[in-house]
Amino acid sequence: MTAPGEDRPAAGPDSAGPDSADASISAGRVGRPHGLDGSFYVTRGKPRLLSQGGIVSVGGAALEIVRRAGTDARPIVRLEGLSSREDAERLRGQELTVAAQAAPALGEGEWWAHELEGCEVRDGARLLGVVSRLIELPSCEALEVRPADGGEALLVPMVRDAIRSVEPRARRVEVDASFLGLGES
C-alpha cells in the first residue's frame, strides 16, 4: 500500500504484525482454470507478488510460480506440480499467500496491510481506536478502525486529507478527526 491518495499495491488481510517472522500477505485467490496445462486466473491478485519464480503458499503447500501471463488486472499463473485443468480446479477459491519477508520491498511511504493492523489511530493525544484491517474500496483503500470507546467500526480513507502520518514501527496512524466528521481533537 502506498501513501494516501496514490496508486498502491492493494494488500488484503494478513496474518500477523509487522515484525512477525510468520507474517503472510494475500496475493489473491485461485480463480477459474485457464487452458489445459494447470494455469488459472488469480482473482483479487496483487501483481507485485505474482512474478514468475516467486513462491506462493496455497492449500498448505509452498509452490513456485512457473508461468505468469495475462495482465496485472487479470493475472494468469501456473504453479509447480499443476499440469492439468483438473489440478487447477481443485485449488479454485483457495487463497494464495506470500511470506512477508519474501515480498518485494515497497517504496517510501508504502505499507503492506499487516504493517498497519494493530496500529493506534490518533488525532494528537486523542485515541480514536485501533486498525483492525485494511479494506479495498472502489475509489481508495480504507482503514477499518475499532473505536476505543466501543461502537461501530470507523472507516478512515487512505487519502491525504484524512491521514496526517503513518508510523508502522511506532504502531501509530495520525488522522484529522475533524475531516472524518468526529469533531475537533
What helix, strand, coil percent values describe the chain, rounded to 5?
Answer: 10, 40, 50
CATH number, domain containing residue 50: 2.40.30.60
- Percentage of the chain beyond pLDDT 70 is 87
Mean pLDDT along residues 8-22: 42
Of the listed ranges 10-14, 74-78, 123-127, the least confidently predicted one is 10-14
User: DSSP 3-state assignment of 86?
Assistant: helix
| Residue 165 included in any domain | yes
Which residues are CB-contacts of 97 (< 8 A; sequence separation ≥ 6)?
A: 15, 24, 25, 26, 27, 56, 57, 58
Shared domain for 33 and 92, answered yes or no, is: yes
Cα–Cα nearest to 53, from 39, 70, 65: 65
Tens digits of residue pLDDT in 45-57: 989 899 999 999 9
- How far apart CA 158 and CA 43 sit, in angstroms, is 23
Considering the domain boundaries, does residue 17 fall inside one? no
Tell me if 183 is assigned to some domain.
Answer: no
Is 64 inside a domain boundary?
A: yes
Q: Are residues 56 and 86 in the same domain?
A: yes
In a domain, 10, yes or no: no
Tell me how far apart the alpha carbons of residues 147 and 154 are, in angstroms, rounded to a whole number: 7
Q: Work out how many domains the chain is built from and give that number.
A: 2
Instruction: Please tell me the pTM assigned to this model.
Output: 0.65
Q: Does 108 fall in a domain?
A: no
For the domain that residue 120 is a member of, what is the CATH number? 2.30.30.240
Q: Are residues 28 and 95 in the same domain?
A: yes
Domain that holds residue 143: 113-175
- Start-to-end C-alpha separation, the chain: 27
Q: Which grid coordinates belong to 94?
A: 483457495
What confidence score (pLDDT) does residue 135 get? 87
Arithmetic mean of pLDDT over the chain = 86
Q: What is the DSSP string of 46-112?
A: -GGG--TT-EEEETTEEEEEEEEEE-SSSEEEEETT--SHHHHHHHTTPEEEEEGGGSPPP-TT---
User: Is position 171 within any domain?
Assistant: yes
pLDDT-derived band at 161, boundaries 50, 70, 90: very high
pLDDT at residue 13 is higher than 60? no
pLDDT score of 173 more than 80: yes
What is the band of 9 on the pLDDT scale with cuts at 50, 70, 90? Answer: very low
Q: What is the pLDDT of residues 81-120, one digit of tens each?
A: 999 999 999 999 999 999 988 888 788 878 888 889 999 9
Does 106 fall in a domain? no
Question: Is residue 3 predicted with pLDDT exceeding 70?
Answer: no
Q: What is the DSSP letter of 48?
A: G
With a pLDDT cut of 90, the percent of the chain lying above it is: 64
